[in-house]
Structure 1
């Protein structure tokens, strides 16, 4: 009798779920700098979200022939010649997305993703975006700039430098980082660096706002910061999101400041204090519609433990998965008895044997 009752207790929630479930929209994952879709962390992250939400997940990356991104061989500056020499030592085609995420201008990356989502038949009725670090800026550019693209319903951002960052993301000591260091010596807002180092497009030095607004090629446009260049369409498109989930990592040492994940940042002209998002001019004057979204209850400010992108499985389930399900469209789904018995047996076995899932970080504490 007890075993029958136990089985019934396990079956009831499954039967209830079987009567009606929500149709899930597809989603895309946009990885961070120096990463690639084939890497274990990103691949596992995408797979788990797809399984847990019962939605179709796709990790997208940007690639281009390296020949198109090489500096001019007519450059005379010694440091530019060093960059040319180092770049020329690599294969002409880097298909993983790792290299391009560093050296391809962000607008070009966004244009590639825009074209990809327009070509994907399964996204035609709408889709969700999950952004990782720098990938969030690409995702927002797709929302704001992509003419004729399918509608984006929910945007889930993990560790995104939305208001900029006062330091280039950590790199390391490899050959890529030698090239990055060489580029940085050319001045971050120079035309050359802006054209050959992706993070320069969102590096925002609060004590050098004049050069930032004048010469930074990407973030000022994305955030509608240029007074004479504000575009109402960008605001209209961004504020049309159903939900904007902004996840900040409490021990983030990559983004400076970490509050940029919530659109918080330093005031113009100083590195102190860090302004909460609601106290920034971007929010108060509603340049991109963040205030509009927030006042409508469609912005979720989430803080999780861990370093940059070090999200746990538990936090993934709690803060990401609910927004990968289209709760506005329900359909009836009847499971077969064999499916129910199989799932119930699996659940009972795990409970009996104590086979609980590890809640360690899926992506790890990354520097991208």
Structure 2
């Protein structure tokens, strides 16, 4: 073989390798159970031959992973994941990220807070994320558990208490439209990553470095309230009935996250699918997510 062909072959091999995918599971779930993200990881590997899929485990085992979805402050989780991704050599040429439910806003925080310290994050797919927060938890996740009732009661009465904010994950993205001032002042996670109090230009730049930001809303979602938060919509301030879309919201009109700029550039993709929270068919996933955003 001629020596000058070797670099060309190496380039071809590298370019033919699918972009790795990082998954972050939702509340009441874990990284690797066969009935949830474990089977989805296998599904991705089957449909994208040769792809490296990292399903994030927050903790040393699946029990810790499950518990941390309720009790480990997201700011600490994001810091943990940033370090984990930076240390993974299989991600060194760039990767895509996909979040499920609360994992969507957590992986978005990774993009915003440490994207400039990581290899290129190409596309982000958000499946049922709560990007403008939640105001109500009718159910909670793949596993029905008495913890859900305790979480719901606590959030209704003390979501912005400093102890609750630092001890209960769901409180950190609780968004009370009847008390916007308290939310803005005391939310330790969501108000920060949405640039509510101040505008962090690094957050804007890192988010805008994405090639595509894909937002998936589930039309018949009975878990996330309101479901429009999955497209960055939310209740208008002062009440909990009238909804304001992303393009009508302050975060967009003031471009506090650069979403308006991304929208104008065609980087924001809004998709919806029938069904309840995180319910989709394999055919829909292949056609709408895998082929256009994850397979190259």
What residue is the counterpart of 2:32 in the other structure?
Answer: 38
> Distance in 1 between the 2:156 and 2:179 partners?
16
Q: Is the 8 A contact 1:183 1:197 kept in 2?
A: no
What residue is the counterpart of 1:144 in the other structure?
Answer: 112
What residue is the counterpart of 1:216 in the other structure?
Answer: 187
Summarize the Cα distance change of 1:169–1:119 in structure 2 as closer, same or farther, 3 Å threshold: farther
Give 3-state SS (helix, strand or coil) of 1:246's partner: strand
Give 3-state SS (helix, strand or coil) of 2:132's partner: coil
> Distance in 2 between the 1:325 and 1:256 partners?
32
* Deviation at residue 316 of structure 1 after TM alignment: 0.8
What residue is the counterpart of 1:278 in the other structure?
Answer: 247
> Distance in 1 between the 2:40 and 2:179 partners?
37
What residue is the counterpart of 1:198 in the other structure?
Answer: 169
What residue is the counterpart of 1:159 in the other structure?
Answer: 128
* Deviation at residue 168 of structure 1 after TM alignment: 3.4
Matched, 1:239 2:208: yes
What residue is the counterpart of 2:22 in the other structure?
Answer: 28
Alpha-carbon deviations, 1:129-180, whole Å to 9, x = none?
Answer: 0110000111011001125222210001100001111113624873433543
Give 3-state SS (helix, strand or coil) of 2:275's partner: coil
* RMSD of equivalent CA atoms: 1.9
What residue is the counterpart of 2:84 in the other structure?
Answer: 116
Q: Is the 8 A contact 1:168 1:203 kept in 2?
A: no
How many residues get paired? 276
* Deviation at residue 38 of structure 1 after TM alignment: 2.2
> Distance in 2 between the 1:216 and 1:313 partners?
36
What residue is the counterpart of 2:281 in the other structure?
Answer: 312
Unmatched runs of 5 consecutive residues or more in structure 1: 1-20, 65-92, 327-368
Summarize the Cα distance change of 1:219–1:251 in structure 2 as closer, same or farther, 3 Å threshold: same
Summarize the Cα distance change of 1:44–1:173 in structure 2 as closer, same or farther, 3 Å threshold: closer
Give 3-state SS (helix, strand or coil) of 1:207's partner: coil
Question: Of the candidates 180, 204, 212, which is equivalent to residue 151 of structure 2?
Answer: 180
Matches within 5 A, 1:1-368: 22-39=16-33, 40-54=35-49, 55-63=51-59, 95-146=63-114, 148-168=117-137, 170-171=139-140, 174-177=145-148, 179-180=150-151, 183-184=154-155, 187-226=158-197, 229-322=198-291, 323-326=293-296
Normalised TM-score (structure 1): 0.71
> Distance in 2 between the 1:296 and 1:187 partners?
40
Q: Is the 8 A contact 2:160 2:183 kept in 1?
A: yes
> Distance in 1 between the 2:179 and 2:81 partners?
31
Q: Is the 8 A contact 1:159 1:309 kept in 2?
A: yes
> Distance in 2 between the 1:305 and 1:244 partners?
20
